[in-house]
Amino acid sequence: MAETSSNGVVAYEVVDRIAWVKFNRPDKRNAMSPTLNRDMMEVLDALEFRDDVGVLVLSGEGAAWTAGMDLKEYFRETEADGLKGTRKAQRESYGWWRRLRWYQKPTIAMVNGWCFGGGYGPLFACDLAFAAEEAKFGLSEINWGILPGGGATKVAVELLPFRKAMYHAMMGENIDGKTAAEWGLVNEAVPLARLKDRVAEVASVLLQKNPVALKATKDAVRRVSLMSYEDAEDYLVRAQEAANSYDNEGRKEGIRQFIDEKSYKPGLGAYDLSKQQAKS
């Protein structure tokens, strides 16, 4: 059964170890207000270490994923309180995006509709992203006189080739989900009618992986992009050692099933987690 956050602007339910989390302001195209940002942190807190949650999917209620920041509530009303109000609003929004980037569980953005401006923050924060072909992506900030802030410019440069990032930020034109996949904003685009099923397929594969290894892997991919090759080598050695300290038996079990049982091949799928869990 679906639950809602304290103020009702985030909805979520857990089904078969997948937490389906939704922006829940469909009348505002799920624009992110200070209230929504606070509630999203509340929901992330509630789900992160639940034993019945293995993957988190972030989507939107209605026709939008999120239209970005709520221009009235996030900008005009917070600016009325001066720099204090602006900084508070920024901490609350950037705070849950940062939390999502380093979340304990794998995360998937399921972009069902409009994804604009500030929405690029949580889009990038999710480990994987799938979109409806009908979805619309845009950095519209230039159209109303500001630059793409809140990390949106950084996201464009991280995910897109330089010329596409520059065009996307300067022109303020929308692209559809299919183009977003071609450019690299999302992993894949499928028709809206198939989107949830496709995301569920991906989530079910992630649920078969070792959760300690998944957390170490997602962190490593984000960290090493900023490192030299030598620094990345050293980091990855230490990261694997740290992961082993939490779950060395998992690594040994995977090797045992491959070498001794010959029950699986690493290049073709994951080892059987249930055998490891049965021993613990």
pLDDT mean over 119-127: 98
Residues 236 and 106 in one domain: no
Residues 197 and 271 in one domain: no
What distance lies between CA 230 and its chain's CA centroid? 28
CATH number at residue 82: 3.90.226.10
Residues 104 and 158 in one domain: yes
pLDDT mean over 30-43: 96
Residues 70 and 127 in one domain: yes
Residues 89 and 218 in one domain: no
Residue 263's pLDDT is 77
Per-residue confidence band for 258, with pLDDT thresholds at 50, 70 and 90: confident
Q: Which residues pair with 107 in a beta bridge?
A: 56
pLDDT mean over 28-49: 96
Of 171, 206, 241, the last residue of a domain is 206
Q: Is 80 exceeded by the pLDDT of residue 141? A: yes
Q: Is 90 exceeded by the pLDDT of residue 78? A: no
The helix or strand, by DSSP H or E, that contains position 171, with its residue range, turns out to be: helix 162-171
Residues 228 and 194 in one domain: no
pLDDT tens-place string over residues 16-26: 999 999 999 99
Residue 280's pLDDT is 63
Residues 197 and 257 in one domain: no
Tell me the C-alpha distance between 276 and 106, whole Å: 20
Residues 165 and 270 in one domain: no
Of 189, 206, 223, the last residue of a domain is 206
pLDDT mean over 81-101: 88
Amino acid at 25: R
Q: Is 70 exceeded by the pLDDT of residue 125? A: yes
How many CA within 13 A on the CB side of residue 184? 12
Q: How much is the mean pLDDT over the chain?
A: 92
pLDDT tens-place string over residues 218-240: 999 999 988 999 999 999 999 98
Q: Is 90 exceeded by the pLDDT of residue 251? A: no
Residue 177's pLDDT is 98
The domain total for the chain is: 2
Q: Which residue has the higher pLDDT, 127 or 71?
A: 127
Residues 233 and 109 in one domain: no
Tell me the C-alpha distance between 118 and 240, whole Å: 34
Share of the chain above pLDDT 70, in %: 96
Stated pTM of the model? 0.94
Residues 165 and 228 in one domain: no
| DSSP per-residue string spanning 1-58 | --EE-TTSSEEEEEETTEEEEEE--GGGTT-B-HHHHHHHHHHHHHHTT-TT-SEEEE
Q: Is 80 exceeded by the pLDDT of residue 75? A: no
Q: Is 90 exceeded by the pLDDT of residue 214? A: yes
Residues 174 and 234 in one domain: no
Q: Which residue has the higher pLDDT, 133 or 242?
A: 133
Q: Is 80 exceeded by the pLDDT of residue 194? A: yes
Per-residue confidence band for 146, with pLDDT thresholds at 50, 70 and 90: confident
Residues 199 and 216 in one domain: no
Range of the domain at 123: 3-206
Of 206, 221, 243, the last residue of a domain is 206
